[in-house]
Amino acid sequence: MKIKKIHIKGHKNLIDAKLEHDGDLIAIIGNNGCGKSNLLEAISCIFKNLYKNERNIPFEFYLEYITSNNNRIEVEKEKSKLSFRLNGVTQVSITDYLPKKVVAIYSGEEDRLWKEYYRPFYLDYIVNINKERYANLPQMLYLNKFYWNISLLCLSLSENNKDFLEQVLGIQRIDKIKFEFAKSNYSNYMNSPVLNLIQTIDDKSEYLFDNISDILNIMYSIDEIFSYLYIAFTPDKTKIIKDITVMFNDGLRIEDLSEGQKKLLLLKAALEFAGQEDTLYLLDEPDAHVHVNNKNKVIEALKPYIHNRQVIVTTHSPTITQCIDENNLYMMSSGKFIPKKQQEIIEDITGEFWNAHQQNNFLASKKDVILLVEGKHDKEHLIKALLKLKDDYANLDFDVFSFGGESKIQPFMQGLAETGTFKDKIYIAVYDNDKAGIDSYGKGFDKDVNSSGYKKLHTDDKIKHNNFFALLLPKPQGYTSHCTIENMFDSEKYKEAYQEALVKSLNYFSNKSISDISEDITGKAKNILMDKSKDFEKEDFKNFRTLFGLINKIKNDCKKVKQPERTTKQVVNNPQPEEKKEKDIPIIFSLKRADADAKATYNFDTGVITVLSGSKIKRVEIDSFKRHYPKHYSQRKKTLSKTKKEIKANQYILEEDVALSNLRDAILFCTTTNLNSSKYWVDENNKSLEEHIKEHHERKTLYKKVLLK
């Protein structure tokens, strides 16, 4: 099957989520809380009711899909009426044209999706599981960690998956398989083919892999083996296989694989054995826990199957979206799909300097003011300055997006303006007050600076665009030289950073040109200043006041232009609650142990934790680290070989930030020990990251409850 249109109205935060599709894979990118998981839940709800011939769908929707036989199916619920159409002709039922299966692999810990939509099929399944010749998988199938060993065994029995096992999971060979049979339950299965398979192998509890392979592959297909083992293992109280253990690579077990590898294992087996053509797969963040370097393998695992299955995948990973054809990529924010037109505009005018994740963040921003800056240092210093001066600028809030250079900003703004689509926000280019910045400031904006100290965008369409502006960094009082973001601090601050960078660079003078040495020291000094600025006092940010005042001036001038004539007093009844905005200012968390003294920032939406440059991490790994966490050991070694580092005593001192996909990976990277990560990271007030995460989720939950009311 291939889904062509989805329109969900009124399911949780999906107020009006509409998608039109003409391809294979449907990939939905968005931050946490945008509605991705709610969309998968809505689809599960629809098919649960259709399979059971029920009409308890509590929201309006329209769904259109094409079957493998090229039949066009339409299902619609408008108000209380549920209707069906086959190739445009109204039908009483479409039971014969439903997907053969709906298979869900869900990354969240919450089991509400399982209980509400998939468990009813499981319970019906248990009732019929012991009937003679009954050997089909449920119509709605929910796969999770309990099927890791079955998945690995079946993939091992299939010669076609040898490369996947070796290259993706690092499994060179399967040693042996252990079974624990529950013979007292055999009577429940009568003469079913499932029992026949189990009785073929139950004379021994342990097999060498070659032996079990010879027995099973001769008598059964791999699909049958997967289905029969699933049926034998699934019932809670009447299962006839209590446990299966696969051992590989000289004694390793499933538990020795990383969480990401186990996720890929389950995904591959689900695609290979759980359903054929006309199967719908719902994959909620299948790249969760997969290392950033392996996220592309998720999409690679999907590619051989999407031609005759419909796969819907959600993600918030910028890495995985780069592997997806843009025609299959849909951005989501606040329960709605961002129009393809806007996506295409941003894709066209950003080219390669923003990936899909950055584009999505830009389109999904809820801030009224967007600052466009040259580089990452500008962005970080502006965010920190706003945090420090927030009490003085209570009504000022903005998002900041960096472009990797001054030359890209004006063409980007012009592209936005001339589409006529981006009118709801104020966009301000903030240029360095140096030669390059001044040159860019002079191109594409008004010739003269107005009395307030900023320029408006000048476009070829001759239309006045009253929400696109540019300004130069205002120089601190008494400062006359070129001014970059670093010069917004007192010179002593930059002097200290430069001196520290010079000391760190003494070993790099050999075989380097003067210009390379200068560039290297300058870059290090900027990074050091950026790191140290998080501990600066409020007064150290005093020179940003003029800039913030100028931004506020632009905001107020825009209000005057847009303010309509007031004729009657406007009264707004029952205003919709606004989501409490999560601060974008990064909190610095510290990890202080005998073996590590690290600092990091944590992204509460993506779960990515960035260990900051200057952090001291453990140098010597304990023996069990390499043995129990081979992938982490290998990746740590690879990362440190690329990340310039200083060695001091028994520690490495990082000279570059290192982004890690989750807290467990970060603690292993810093200490080579598996600890309760979120408790060990604390902020400047000794408040744990665990508490911050809990509060973050509580705020999100509270908002959703208020919104639903």
Among the three residues 242, 275, 308, which one is the final residue of a domain in this structure?
A: 275
Residues 145, 270: one domain? Answer: yes
Give domain status of residue 291, yes or no: no
pTM: 0.60
Q: DSSP readout, 365-381?
A: ---SEEEEESSHHHHHH
Give domain status of residue 120, yes or no: yes
Residues 189, 314: one domain? Answer: no
Residues 88, 116: one domain? Answer: no
Residues 7, 122: one domain? Answer: no
664-669: list long-range contacts, CB under 8 Å, 24+ apart: 664/259, 665/291, 665/609, 665/632, 666/600, 666/609, 666/611, 667/591, 668/625, 668/629, 668/632, 668/636, 669/611, 669/617, 669/632, 669/636, 669/639
Give domain status of residue 499, yes or no: no
Whichever domain contains 312, its CATH number is 3.40.50
SS3 633: helix
Q: Which residues 6+ apart lie within 8 Å of 123 measured at CB?
A: none
Q: How far apart are CA 77 and CA 49, in angstroms?
A: 12
Domain coverage including residue 620: 588-708
Among the three residues 243, 275, 307, which one is the final residue of a domain in this structure?
A: 275
Closest CA to 606 of 198, 33, 106: 33
SS3 211: helix
Residues 73, 157: one domain? Answer: no
- Which tens digits make up the pLDDT trace of 450-470? 777 899 988 666 666 789 999
- Burial pattern 599-634, b for ≥16 Cβ within 10 A else e, equals bbbbebebbbbbbbbbbbbbbebeeebeeebbbbbe
Q: Which residues of the chain have pLDDT under 50?
A: 132, 564-583, 709
pLDDT at residue number 562: 60
Burial of 465 (0-12, 13-18, 19+ CB in 10 A): buried
Q: How far apart are CA 407 and CA 428, in angstroms?
A: 15
How many residues does the structure list for the chain? 709
Among the three residues 515, 547, 562, which one is the final residue of a domain in this structure?
A: 562
Give domain status of residue 529, yes or no: no
Residues 641, 676: one domain? Answer: yes
DSSP E strands, 487-634: 588-592, 597-602, 609-611, 616-618
User: Phi/psi at 171 (nearest 5 deg)?
Assistant: -95, 110
Residues 549, 426: one domain? Answer: yes
Residues 17, 87: one domain? Answer: yes
pLDDT at residue number 443: 87
pLDDT at residue number 557: 87
pLDDT at residue number 631: 82
Contact 107/244 with Cβ under 8 angstroms?
Answer: no
Residues 416, 544: one domain? Answer: yes
Give domain status of residue 386, yes or no: yes
Q: How far apart are CA 8 and CA 17, in angstroms?
A: 5
Residues 140, 269: one domain? Answer: yes
Q: Domain total for the chain? A: 4
Contact 269/226 with Cβ under 8 angstroms?
Answer: yes
Give domain status of residue 582, yes or no: no
Give domain status of residue 494, yes or no: no
Residues 117, 96: one domain? Answer: no
SS3 259: helix
- Which tens digits make up the pLDDT trace of 514-551? 777 888 888 899 999 999 999 999 999 999 999 999 99
Q: DSSP readout, 125-182?
A: HHHHTTSTT-----SEEEE-GGGHHHHHHHHHH-GGGHHHHHHTS----EEEEEEEE-
Residues 411, 542: one domain? Answer: yes
Give domain status of residue 359, yes or no: no
